[in-house]
Structure 1
Amino acid sequence: MLANIVEKWCLRGWYKNQKIPDLCGGAEQLQTLFRFRAGIEAGISWLKRCFGLSRCHCKGSERFDSHCWLSVVCYNLVILARHPAPS
């Protein structure tokens, strides 16, 4: 599925004057992609607001990498803590 979408966007793109649902394979798949994008953007927004990814005061690549890595790990731990495994 993803390979087909990438192929359509990269090879046929906007320059052929196609409508958006035609590029995505239909209106249902377009709606699914919009929902997926909204979910990703919500997660990124939460990472920026709550876990300090909006600004990094670290100097150097290694410290920047560790800052981002720890923020994402903390994000995942909070997600796991909010939704415990079913028993």
Structure 2
Amino acid sequence: MSALVERGIDPAEFRQRYSDLYLGDDTMWSDAEFGVLDKLFAETDDFEPDPLLRAELVHSLDADELRQSAANALGRLRALAQDQQ
């Protein structure tokens, strides 16, 4: 997530990496953590780099919106980690 937010990787690469990690992860997350991760997975799935295709879709995100979604998720996960300490 940090790499996307800090522009270390592009959104298409993030989508692939995050999908692979999400689908292959068997960690027993708390309900709150899972909710954050699952929402980001849905938002990652909504990413469409092509503006013409994005205009035809009901739910779609551009690169900046996906970056913002990742930043929000990262912030929520950090807050949850703080709460657990």
Larger RCO (CA within 8 A; separation ≥ 6): 2
Shorter-chain TM-score tier: 0.3 to 0.5
